[in-house]
Structure 1
Amino acid sequence: MSHPMALPDHRPPLKRHRHLLAALALTCAICLLRLPLRATIATIDTLHRLPLATPGAEAPALTRLVHACTRASALWPGRVACLETSLALVLAAAFTGRRLHWCLGGRFDPPATHAWAQHPDGTPVGEPTDTPWPWTTALRI
């Protein structure tokens, strides 16, 4: 008979302010998605006009934001999928002075839709890198 055992957690530890930032961003994302899409687009456009943070260790900070938003979405009592999580990541990045684009797209075979956050250079943030990117961008904000 085997005994259940916990798998080790390989995610970096998060500080309390990142948990709060991710929870705030997820709450804002869920509220924004209840509004018409043009209101969400206008909000993201407005956030893109905010001044950027000074360049520094960009990759580790974004990795911590991705983990914080993923953890916040796991604790949310309702439905949270790629649409809400990716918008929360874009909002959390904007709150910290970083700029990410929110992308909506799809694929044909098998048919599916997806939402993701993207660097200004076009690389997806927080998405698996072990498989080829199957999504075609329909809207990039």
Structure 2
Amino acid sequence: MSIAMATQVAPPRPALGQAAMAATSLLVAVGMLRLLPLRVVLALAGVVRQVAPRHASLDTAREVITARDWAAAHYPGRATCLDLSLTAFLIAACRGRHVSWCIGCRFNPSESHAWIEVDGEPVGEYGMFDDPFHVTIRL
């Protein structure tokens, strides 16, 4: 008798340039969040936002999430939602587009979370918003 095991399907590999941008953005995001105080990271993200003032479309944001997920699947360490959301924010900025980087919480159960949004809608968050998070910081 065999037991079926849950396997995680790796996200599709983006084009070479997008893959390199995603991997680099993930390393930059992890480095920033591990080495700098959060207030400095937020200030730098505010500067990055000014560089990419054009809003991303939902399709562009989904492409960014796909590239981010591919990079995260190949990252040897643990990437948290804060790392992953900042990575998506940076990838979009490298493409000359702006997504909203959100950090928030909810109270029952008590949790914090970080994500990106386009036009006020979370992108790449599946099943996380049955009990919505309250946005604490939005860039």
TM-score by length of 1: 0.82
Q: Which runs of 5+ in 1 are unaligned?
A: none
- 1:95-121 CA-partner distances (Å, limit 9, x unpaired): 1011012111111111111011112x2
- 1:18-41 CA-partner distances (Å, limit 9, x unpaired): 111110110110111120112111
Structure 2: distance between partners of 1:130 and 1:104 = 14
Aligned to 2:47: 46
User: Which amino acid in structure 2 is aligned with residue 122 of structure 1?
Assistant: G
Q: Percent identity?
A: 34
Aligned to 2:110: 111
Aligned to 2:70: 71
**Between 127-136 and 43-52, the greater mean CA deviation after superposition:** 127-136
**C-alpha contact 1:12 1:64 (8 A) present in aligned 2:** no
| Matched position secondary structure for 2:98 | coil
User: Which amino acid in structure 1 is aligned with residue 89 of structure 2?
Assistant: V
Structure 1: distance between partners of 2:16 and 2:6 = 24
| Matched position secondary structure for 2:120 | coil
**C-alpha contact 2:13 2:19 (8 A) present in aligned 1:** no
In structure 2, do the counterparts of structure 1 residues 112 and 131 end up closer, same or farther at CA, with 3 Å as the change threshold?
A: closer
Aligned to 1:28: 28
For residue 59 of structure 1, report the CA deviation from its aligned partner: 2.9
User: Which amino acid in structure 2 is aligned with residue 123 of structure 1?
Assistant: E
| Matched position secondary structure for 1:138 | strand
**C-alpha contact 1:82 1:114 (8 A) present in aligned 2:** yes
**Between 25-34 and 121-130, the greater mean CA deviation after superposition:** 121-130
Structure 1: distance between partners of 2:51 and 2:98 = 9
Structure 2: distance between partners of 1:114 and 1:8 = 22
Aligned to 1:135: 133
User: Which amino acid in structure 2 is aligned with residue 107 of structure 1?
Assistant: R
**C-alpha contact 2:52 2:93 (8 A) present in aligned 1:** no
Aligned to 1:85: 84
Superposed, 1:12-27 pairs within 5 Å as: 14-27=14-27
Aligned to 1:98: 97
- 1:47-100 CA-partner distances (Å, limit 9, x unpaired): 1111546x89x3333212101101211211111011100000000000101101
